Amino acid sequence: HSATSCFTGGEYGKKAKKKSAEVDGEGSAVEEKKMVKSELAVAFPPTFSVSEIKNKQRRHFMFMKLKQEKRKQKMQLRKKRRKEREALGDKAPPKEVPKTIENQRVYDETTVDPEDEEIAFDEGTDEFSAYFNGLTNPKVLITTSDRPRGRTVRFCEQLATVIPNAHVYYRRGLALKRIIPQCVARNFTYLMVINEDRQVPNGMVLCHLPNGPTAHFKVSSVRLRKEMKRRGKNPTEHYPEVILNNFTTRLGHTIGRLFAALFPQEPHFVGRQVATFHNQRDFIFFRFHRYIFKNEKKVGIQELGPRFTLKLRSLQKGTFDSKYGEYEWVMKRHEMEACRRKFQL
Amino acid sequence: MQHDDVIWDIIGNTQFCSFKVKTKSQNFCRNEYNITGLCNRSSCPLANSQYATIREEKGQCFLYMKVIERAAFPARMWEKVKLSKNYEKALEQIDENLIYWPRFIRHKCKQRFTKITQYLIRMRKLVLKRQRKLVPLSRKVETRERRKEEKALIAAQLDNAIEKELLERLKQGTYGDIYNFPVHAFDRALEQQDQESESEEEEEEEEDDEDVGQREFVAEEEVEESDLSDFEVTLLSNDQQGATEKVESERSRNEEEDEEEMEVQTKASRSKGKSPANGSAARKKRAYVEIEYEQETEPASKSRAT
């Protein structure tokens, strides 16, 4: 009621009276709220958050104190748990598996089930079926973008030693669409174009030839042979084995088959060489090793050959045609990389 | 009307001309109507009453002629004639418009026109050839991807994965008879004698034989094997770890028993089955020797065997 008195006395006049009436109503409402709040406040201890302190030094100090408290509690909890585990000894519950991104991966509905008949049928009739039925032998043409510089050239040469039946050709500024019919005429099964930027390879277009899909990758972390530590001698002419790890989804399956068809079907086990394409979180790591079995439990591997990582950017049906091609899958960063636990391959 | 010489005297030699660009060897003229681009007495558009140029706009060539009577109205001073797209016809047009003009200007006009048509042709040809598409890289995105790649590399544990895969292939017999590890059977016996019965060992040997016949296309099969989802893989690895832990604890219990019993067991397990290769003979001797001397060296040999 003290609120009403200070409004009526003074400059406002008649309007003030009306206003004071409204204010009165509001004032009483506010007072009621305050009463309610104070009741609530009485129920719990008064809490305040650290962020409400205006003074930076004090706020920082309180925050540090808060963190220390939390840490202390965490340590106490840990100690307690450890004591319990030791006390129980053998009967202790098994250690919990820590969460990793792979554990928490969002389930992809296109994950391939090994017994799926539809997929088996698809794979029996897709563009790679000719290779997997043993009808064609892989023959790879490796080339670069215009005017390649030293590193890219050396990378192409090393790739040609790693992939059997591969030939490197200098790209004389020719259009890919003109190269492809010539390749098909000479029975090539793969066209690999290494794109270069600032003297370093940074992209790869892998085109399966008769009329197969074209994949465009981003290439990163290229290590040539002489940059590798503890590497072995140069790879021999034996056909290497192929390891494809973690290609789980439908898209991953297609890409896996794309890589598998680069190498001949019958690997020479005598050569003891293995090429690995390992997919982890949508990055495909390529490694080339020579292995030796010391006994049945241990194998030693020695890295030879170049290593690089690939990241799939787009998969296009049919041979290379960037304007009119039909894209099966394109990397759309905002949609696909929004969730950290969702992967495409 | 205009005193060309006076103008040239001022801008050409002594005083300042804002269109002049001086270099070590030559002077250039930046005036857009200049026919040769050099700063000369005969090429200066300001110091010549009778002047003509060829200029090109969006693929169209025009002949510009200076009408000195309109020197007071610089905006209307230049007269424009559109030249035909046909090269010869355009040259005739230039000739007919600049009839009676000094030889120098006619010649230079035609030269300039020729150069312009040549570069227009080259532009049209280049458009038909391969166009290079420049894709801008966002620095933030690139650093983010690089970091993700590093983390993925650490998570991948490539060496372990490759070794595991190779050992699995060996176990399943994809390599056929190339690698003879006859101690294979004895090792397995050692491992499992504490845990499982002999019937299970026989079953496993039979399975190996069957697999050797079945494996055909290595490349294709690998894709299917790696289709195990990550969950299954981690669970399996946990089980294996549990198994090895059990084995080790039982091993430590065994050490406390009589050493003689151990000797008897090992000898018995080795005598059954195939003939031992050199490796197992050496191992047999080694075990015997170590048991004679000290107990402490035994756990080392056991862990190597497993």
Q: What local confidence, expressed as pLDDT, does residue B227 receive? A: 47
Evaluate whether residue A276 is within a structural domain.
yes
Q: Examine the domain organization and report whether A180 and A259 are in the same domain.
A: yes
A69 alpha carbon, distance to own chain's centre: 37
Task: Give the range of the structural domain holding residue A60, as residue numbers without chain letter.
Answer: 54-89
- Over residues A122-146, the mean pLDDT reads 88
Q: Are residues A61 and A177 in the same domain?
A: no
Query: What pLDDT is attached to residue B188?
Result: 63
Distance CA B103, CA B42 (A): 11
Burial class of residue A40, CB neighbours in 10 A (0-12, 13-18, 19+)? exposed
Minimum Cα–Cα distance from A259: chain B residue: B219
Give the pLDDT mean for A306-333. Answer: 91
In whole angstroms, give the CA distance from residue A50 to residue A30.
27
Torsion, CA B264, CA B266, CA B271, CA B274, rounded to 10 = 170
A78, A149: one domain: no
For residue B45, which of B73, B23, B67 has the smallest C-alpha distance? B67
Pair (A328, A186) in one structural domain: yes
Q: Give the DSSP per-residue string, A97-147.
A: PPP-TTTTPPPPTTBPPTT-HHHHHHHHHSTTHHHHTT-----EEEEESSS
Examine the domain organization and report whether A207 and A58 are in the same domain: no
Q: Where are the alpha helices (DSSP H) in chain A?
A: 2-8, 13-43, 56-88, 117-125, 129-132, 150-162, 176-185, 250-260, 333-336
Q: What is the DSSP string of B212-278?
A: HHH---HHHHHHHHTTS-HHHHHHHHHHHHHHHHHHHHHHHHHHHS-HHHHHHHHHHHHHSSSPP-H
B51 falls within a domain:
yes
Domain that holds residue B86: 4-128
* Confidence check: pLDDT of B246 > 90: no
* Residue B168 domain flag: no
pLDDT of residue A43: 58
The shortest C-alpha distance from A296 to chain B (Å) reads 7
A147 shares its domain with A241:
yes
Q: How far is A260 from A277, CA to CA, in rounded Å?
A: 9
Q: Using pLDDT thresholds of 50, 70 and 90, give the confidence band for residue B276.
A: very low
Buried-exposed string A84-116: b where 16+ CB fall within 10 A, e elsewhere: eeeeeeeeeeeeeeeeeebeebeebeeebeeee
Q: Kindly state the percentage of chain B with pLDDT values over 90.
A: 48
- Which among A309-323, B50-64, B213-227 has the top mean pLDDT? B50-64
Q: Which residue has the higher pLDDT, A128 or B92?
A: B92
- pLDDT value of position B83: 95
Any domain includes A14: no
Report the CATH number that the domain containing residue A310 is assigned in CATH.
3.40.50.10480
Q: What is the pLDDT of residues A210-236, one digit of tens each?
A: 888 999 999 999 999 999 988 888 899
- Residue B196: inside a domain, yes or no? no
Q: For residue B89, is it within any domain?
A: yes
A164 and A285, same domain (yes or no): yes
CB atoms within 10 A of CB A145: 19
8 Å CB contact of A132 and B220: yes
Q: Which two tokens stand for residue A122?
A: 């698809």
Position A31 scores a pLDDT of 53
- d(CA A92, CA B82) in angstroms, rounded, equals 96
* pLDDT score of B107: 96
Residue B77 lies in a domain: yes
CATH code: domain of residue B71? 3.30.390.110
Number of A:B CB contacts under 8 A? 132
Give the span between the Cα atoms of A301 and B144, in whole angstroms. 31
Contact A281, A345 (CB under 8 A): no
Residues A82 and A175 in one domain: no
Indicate if A196 and A324 belong to the same structural domain.
yes
- Is B269 part of a structural domain of the chain? no
A77/A172 same-domain check: no
Is A246 within the bounds of a domain? yes
Using pLDDT thresholds of 50, 70 and 90, give the confidence band for residue B239. Answer: very low
pTM of the model: 0.63
Residue B103 one-letter amino acid: R
Enter the tokens of residue A335.
């949609």
The total domain count for chain A is: 2
* Subunit contact A296:B230, Cβ cutoff 8 A: no
CA A285 to chain centre: 11
Domain count, chain B: 1
Residue in this structure with the two tokens 């950290």, named with its chain if needed: A340
- Chain A contact probe: residue of B130, B143, B162, B175 with most A CBs at under 10 A: B162
What is residue A329's DSSP assignment? E
Q: How confident is the model at residue A110 (pLDDT cuts 50, 70, 90)?
A: confident
Interface test with B, best of A117, A178, A269 (most B CBs within 10 A): A269
Residue B174: predicted pLDDT: 83
In DSSP terms, A205 is beta-bridged to A193, A216
Q: Which amino acid is at A39?
A: E
Half-sphere exposure at residue A182, Cβ-oriented, CA atoms within 13 angstroms: 8
> Which of A105, A114, A265 lies nearest to residue B219, judging by beta carbons?
A265
Mean pLDDT of B242-271: 44
**What average pLDDT does chain B have?**
74
Considering only CB atoms, A247 lies closest to which of B141, B223, B231, namely B223
CA-closest candidate to residue B275, choices B186, B168, B179, B158 = B186
Is residue A37, in this structure, part of any structural domain at all?
no
Assess if residue B208 is contained within a domain.
no
Mean pLDDT value across residues A266-291: 93
Q: Which of A93-97, A269-273, B101-105 has the lowest mean pLDDT?
A: A93-97
- The pair of three-digit structure tokens given for residue B35, joined into one six-digit string: 């026919």
- Ranking A149-153, B57-61, B138-142, B236-240 by mean pLDDT, the lowest is B236-240
A217/A141 same-domain check: yes
Q: Are residues A63 and A114 in the same domain?
A: no
Q: Token digits for A344? A: 């495409």
Q: What is the ipTM of this complex?
A: 0.76
pLDDT digits (tens, 9 = 90+) for B148-199: 999 999 999 999 999 999 999 988 888 877 777 755 555 666 666 766 655 5
Residues within 8 A of A (CB atoms), B 208-227 only: 217-220, 222-224, 226-227
A291 membership: H or E segment, kind and range? strand A283-293
Longest alpha-carbon distance in chain B: 131
Please report residues of B whose CB lies closer than 8 A to that of A253.
Answer: 223
What backbone torsions phi and psi does residue B230 show, to the nearest 5 degrees? -60, -30
Assigned domain for B253 exists:
no
CB distance A281–B158 less than 8 Å? no
